[in-house]
């Protein structure tokens, strides 16, 4: 079982006697490091009090679709975008049917329709209901849409029947949910990622830099690790911890990042340049602190090396992905960089928007390569990272399609 550390999980609870097991699911998710938000249907509230789930999760439980307080805080669309995984346990026969037909008559159903995250359900119902042709057809339909079905198990049921339909035990649900983040699509691949800003010194205390938080690069490192890759993360100064199972190389300036990139990319399969490298550096660095005095000061600057271009030109068999942070004509400038820097793909995002990009936990980008442009709507950077890793896997191995 892989760690669920920092994974954002919505636990959806629908009506049924198995709802009591959901309390243990919350506890086990948190034991593995996940951040959990609970959403309950009206039927679930008949079997389990929201206060119980609030106490276990440490967060208010979301229930009503038209809850004004909830919408003023984290509304259902924001909640849907927040998640890395929507896990519905238990999933009743009625709710499964609603999923199939796209009904949004509850908060949980609306979140299902709006989320870009993975979705998994743990069905729970009477054995005859589970075996009915309508239920079989519904489950097949959801499976075809990419929903993961966990269980059910067979055994004694609350109604006295014996057979399949019992919700899987919490430990089994957690294990299978955890495995969803371990795709294996980059198994055996060596990946090098640059992240964060660079700092170009002016004197011992001042420097030129930018607002990059490194969150996108670090999310990509985690997603690549979960996909089975051997990952080296070359990071500028950020307030983040190097992900587990990752080789971390800490640098400060653009020159240091270029040296590390060229040194550690030898033998790699994929290079992802998410770092926001300072375009210029001071031609000379003052050995002592520059004293304030005159109303104006002139600083002479020179161009920094283009790291992703140097890597792409040095390693011909490498799959190179660049990032383009633009404030206008985003796709036009990104396509220009794709060609000029001889990249295999580029990810373009609009930094003029305050709700995505620098320092935000969310992003909205376009993947651009020589064959196509794919838009990835607003979602968490963690979810976007997994989507981008899946796209890279398709490009480097087009015969491996899920």
Residue 333 has, within 13 A of its CA and on its CB side, a CA count of 11
Are β-strands 190-195 and 230-235 bridged in parallel, bridged antiparallel, or unpaired? parallel
Is 246 labeled as catalytic in the residue annotation? no
Residue 69 labelled as part of a binding site:
no
* 186 to 19, 229, 391, 400: CA distances (angstroms): 37, 5, 11, 10
Residue 123 labelled as part of a binding site:
no
Nearest C-alpha neighbor of 272 from the set 378, 154, 361, 384: 384
Residue 355 labelled as part of a binding site:
no
CA-based torsion, 290, 292, 293, 298: positive or negative? positive
Question: Backbone dihedral region of 211: left (phi > 0), alpha (psi from -120 to 50 degrees) or beta?
Answer: alpha
Residue 31 labelled as part of a binding site:
no
Residue 307 labelled as part of a binding site:
yes
- Residue 398 has which token pair? 């087009």
Residue 84 labelled as part of a binding site:
no
Residue 237 labelled as part of a binding site:
no
Sheet holding 190-195, edge to edge: 247-250, 230-235, 190-195, 270-273, 319-326, 345-350, 362-369, 373-380
Q: Which of 159, 205, 299, 375 is catalytic?
A: 159
Contacts of 66 (CB under 8 A, 6+ apart): none
Residue 315 labelled as part of a binding site:
no
Residue 305 labelled as part of a binding site:
yes
Report the alpha-carbon distance of residue 24 to residue 30 in Å, rounded.
10
Contacts of 169 (CB under 8 A, 6+ apart): 21, 153
Binding-site residue ranges:
279, 289, 305-308, 323, 337, 341
What residues are annotated to the active site?
Answer: 159
Binding-site residue ranges for CTP:
279, 289, 305-308, 323, 337, 341
């Amino acid at each position: 079982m892989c760690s669920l550390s920092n994974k954002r999980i919505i636990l959806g609870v629908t009506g049924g006697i198995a709802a009591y097991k959901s309390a243990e699911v919350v506890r086990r998710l948190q034991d593995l490091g996940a951040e959990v938000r609970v959403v309950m249907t009206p039927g679930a509230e008949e079997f389990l009090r929201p206060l119980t789930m609030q106490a276990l999760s440490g967060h208010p439980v979301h229930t009503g679709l038209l809850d004004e307080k909830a919408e003023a805080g984290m509304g259902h669309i924001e909640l849907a975008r927040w998640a890395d995984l929507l896990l519905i346990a238990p999933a009743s026969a009625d709710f499964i049917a609603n999923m199939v037909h796209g009904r949004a008559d509850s908060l949980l159903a609306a979140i299902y329709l709006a989320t870009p995250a993975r979705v998994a359900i743990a069905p729970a119902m009477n054995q005859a209901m589970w075996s009915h042709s309508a239920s079989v057809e519904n489950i097949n339909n959801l499976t075809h849409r990419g929903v993961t079905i966990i269980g059910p198990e067979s055994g004694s049921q609350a109604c006295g029947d014996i057979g399949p339909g019992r919700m899987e035990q919490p430990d089994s649900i957690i294990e299978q949910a955890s495995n969803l983040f371990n795709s294996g699509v980059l198994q055996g691949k060596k990946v090098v990622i640059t992240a964060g800003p660079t700092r170009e010194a002016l004197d011992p205390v001042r420097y030129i830099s930018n607002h990059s938080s490194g969150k996108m690069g670090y999310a990509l490192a985690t997603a690549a690790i979960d996909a089975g890759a051997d990952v080296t993360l070359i990071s500028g100064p950020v307030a983040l911890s190097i992900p587990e199972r990752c080789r971390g190389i800490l640098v400060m300036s653009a020159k240091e990042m270029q040296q590390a990139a060229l040194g550690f990319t030898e033998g790699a399969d994929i290079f992802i340049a998410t770092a926001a490298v300072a375009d210029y550096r001071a031609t000379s660095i003052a050995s002592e602190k520059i004293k304030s005095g005159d109303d104006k000061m002139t600083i002479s600057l020179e161009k920094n090396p283009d790291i992703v271009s140097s890597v792409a030109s040095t390693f011909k068999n490498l799959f190179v992905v660049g990032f383009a942070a633009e404030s206008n004509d985003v796709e036009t400038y990104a396509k220009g960089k794709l060609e000029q820097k001889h990249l295999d793909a580029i990810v373009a995002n609009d930094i003029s928007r305050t709700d995505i990009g620098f320092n935000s936990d969310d992003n909205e980008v376009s993947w651009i390569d020589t064959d196509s442009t794919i838009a990835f709507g607003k979602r968490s950077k963690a979810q976007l990272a997994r989507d981008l890793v899946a796209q890279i896997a398709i490009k480097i191995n087009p015969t491996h399609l899920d």
